[in-house]
Amino acid sequence: MHIKTLASISEMLLQIDLIKHLYPAMNLQTYEDYLKAMQPHNYVQIAVFEGEKCLGLTGLWSGVKLWTGKYLEIDNFIVSPDAREKGVGKLICSHIEQLAKDQGCTCIVLDAFTGNFKAHKFYYNQGYEPLGFHFIKTIDKNGFS
């Protein structure tokens, strides 16, 4: 297994099938449109490959906030169902932690849906802990994938 940073939209688009594990209704055009909007805001993807096959990936943002200073944010963490329990997720987390240290970040942040208990357990096991609540006010439910 090897890790690769996907920085170009063309590289990211090749992973649409993996993205559909989280967002089954996502189509290629919408995915491309979102990536084009996200990329100028420090968005890349970190992916684990075995040969040419992508086993898992996550989006990764970098930024600065008043409460954290410089940080990295994990977004849409996906491991292919047939690659789970094989260390793919842990490899991604370890890589991101090293990136955060190398870039002088104070922390790594992420959101996990409240009902995704498997993800909660995984993140706890990787050393993450909840700090607060992420509140949203939905304006247009049709905009969600």
Structural domain boundaries, residue 47: 2-128
Average pLDDT of span 1-27: 96
Is there a domain that residue 133 lies in? Answer: no
Is there a domain that residue 70 lies in? Answer: yes
pLDDT at 145: 60
| pLDDT digit string, tens, across residues 30-41 | 999 999 999 999
Is there a domain that residue 53 lies in? Answer: yes
Is there a domain that residue 24 lies in? Answer: yes
Is there a domain that residue 137 lies in? Answer: no
Is there a domain that residue 145 lies in? Answer: no
Average pLDDT of span 10-32: 96
Residue 79 sits in a domain whose CATH number is 3.40.630.30
pLDDT at 144: 67
| pLDDT digit string, tens, across residues 109-142 | 999 988 999 999 999 999 999 998 888 888 888 7
Is there a domain that residue 142 lies in? Answer: no
Is there a domain that residue 121 lies in? Answer: yes
| pLDDT digit string, tens, across residues 66-116 | 999 999 999 999 999 999 989 999 999 999 999 999 999 999 999 998 899
C-alpha–C-alpha distance, residues 133 and 101, integer Å? 25
pLDDT at 140: 84
* pTM confidence score: 0.91
Instruction: Please give the tally of structural domains in the chain.
Output: 1
pLDDT at 82: 93
